[in-house]
A and B are shown apart, each in its own frame.
Chain A
Amino acid sequence: MQHTSKPTRSHRWATCLIGLYPPSWRERYAAEMLMILEDAPPTWKTVLNLFINLFDAYTHQNLVKERNPHMLQRKRFSELSIFGATMIFFLAWYASQIRFDGSLIPRPIWVFPDPMYSNYWHLVPLVLALIIPQVGWLLLLLLLLGGLPVLLAACWEALKARHYSALFLSLVGLLSPFVTALFALVPFVIPSNAGADVQTMLWEFTLIAFFGLGVDLALLFFAIQQVPPHRRITHYALYPATVVPFVMLVGLVTLIIWTTPFLIAAGTLDFLAALPYILQEVLMFLIMAIALFFTSLSLVRGYQAKIMVLAAEQCSR
């Protein structure tokens, strides 16, 4: 077949049209289509053919969408892991700081400023006492900025796909942490516990909260993995996730430095009485350290997946 049209202009038009194909098509086929244009200079018939098939590509996105790059789903899984670990870290963070002022209502140190603890300020540098409360707020903020959009995007994708079971589970996953928090605080507010041992109530709170959070996260992961990832939200959510390990590290180090004098003082005064408290603190630190390690690992995997997704998109340009 002879090509009589000028190749350069038709080649430009053909390349532009390929650039208008749906993102999933471009990601999958654009590089190959562009190579064919290099092998066989396009004619205006080629341009017309691409224009007609552009509509076909948009009306049949399911041909490629269902084979969405595995990397985007892997990226979302990494982000979910990061924000799940953030919730566990935050819970351990909260549990490790619970103190009582006699009213049986837990009051963590991160509620700052708190003059009640002013007697202890001389034991640690003031800068640490300033950092600790901010870490708690930052973790919550990162969960709202990163984790919540991923969850809401999953709800939206489930609604669009009319995947009602996934939508229901996603909504349950959205509300269940609040329900867990309420249940976990019950031992502290019920009147029958008024004279109960404080340490026992702390353990009850910790166990209920961690168990509930485990169930919440399992629900969320199960629900969200059933719907395709939202491309833009998945790309965006990695940015707040990037800050999380740094905040965790700063928080863990400052909390260890902050808490150590208390543990030493308590152990010196009455070691046997302080032992459960010390064990709980050590356990919380261990949980936080594991959450930090897991978050760092997930972040590396998330960026590896991002690089692969970007490489695929580069091929389509």
Chain B
Amino acid sequence: MRITRTSRPDWGRFSDPSLLVLSSLASGPKHGYAMIQDIEQFCGTHLEVGTLYGVLARLEKQGWIEPMEVVERRRPYHLTQLGASVLHEQLSTMSQVVNTGLQRLAAH
């Protein structure tokens, strides 16, 4: 599902991975490989490293995530307050869509 809102940038093919990364970071700071593993675990999608860092660059520029100090040659990222509110808004909208779709399917 493409996440497109008038108040948010349209990142094309990076929109869905962005949501996955934000959701992964919602449970706490993670480095890149930990994000890939977590995302694969909760939704079965495997993010490749090129896509992941394209997403991280965009999220970092928006101020939705922040890098942390390098630990054992790996740099974790954490969700900022702004990122958390954006994620909450996006998930709320998606939840509405999901509920509406399921209701209509049930009534069909």
* B56 within 8 Å of A (CB atoms): yes
* B57 near A29: Cβ-Cβ < 8 Å: yes
- Quick one: which of B54, B73, B74 contacts A53, CB cutoff 8 A? B54
Please report the C-alpha to C-alpha distance between residue A227 and residue B74 in the assembled complex, in whole angstroms: 32
Interface positions of A from 1 to 55, Cβ below 8 Å from B: 1, 14, 25, 28-29, 31-33, 35-37, 39-40, 42, 45-46, 49-54
Residue count of chain B within 8 Å CB distance of chain A: 21
- For the complex formed, measure the closest distance between the CB of A41 and the CB atoms of chain B, giving whole angstroms: 11
The reply to whether B58 and A63 contact each other, CB–CB distance below 8 Å, is yes
Q: With A and B bound together, what is the CA distance between A60 and B56 in angstroms?
A: 13
Q: Are B73 and A46 in contact (CB under 8 A)?
A: no
A42 contacts B61, CB within 8 Å?
no
Q: Is the CB of B40 within 8 A of A1?
A: yes
A63-B50 contact given A32-B74, A35-B33, A35-B74, CB 8 Å threshold: no
| B61 and A53 contacting across the interface, CB-CB below 8 Å | no
Q: Does B75 reach chain A (CB closer than 8 Å)? A: yes
Q: Is the interface of A mostly helix, strand, loop or mixed?
A: helix
A40–chain B nearest beta-carbon distance, Å: 6
A39 CA to B53 CA, complexed, in Å: 15
| B20 contacts the other chain (CB 8 A) | no
Contact indicator A54/B61 (Cβ below 8 Å):
no
Looking at chain B's contact residues, the main secondary structure is helix
Contact B36–A36 (Cβ < 8 Å): yes
Contact B40–A29 (Cβ < 8 Å): no
Chain B CB within 8 A of A66 CB: yes
CB distance from A44 to the nearest CB of B (A): 11
The interface residues of chain B lying within 8 Å CB-to-CB of A51 are 50
A70 at the interface (CB under 8 A from B): no
Whether B50 lies near A54 (C-beta < 8 A) is yes
In the complex, whether A64 has a CB less than 8 A from a CB of chain B is: yes
CB atoms of A32 and B32 under 8 A apart: yes
A67 contacts chain B at the CB level, 8 A cutoff: yes
Q: A36 and B57 in contact (CB under 8 A), knowing A1-B40, A50-B50?
A: no
26-64 of chain B: CB within 8 A of chain A = 31-33, 36, 40, 46, 48-54, 56-58, 60-61
Contact yes or no, B73 A39, CB < 8 A: no
Determine the chain A residues whose CB is within 8 A of the CB of B74 once the complex forms: 32, 35
Interchain residue pairs A-B with the least CB separation, the first 6: A53-B50, A49-B48, A49-B50, A39-B33, A63-B57, A50-B50
**Which residues from chain A sit less than 8 Å from chain B, CB to CB?**
1, 14, 25, 28-29, 31-33, 35-37, 39-40, 42, 45-46, 49-54, 56-57, 60, 63-64, 66-67
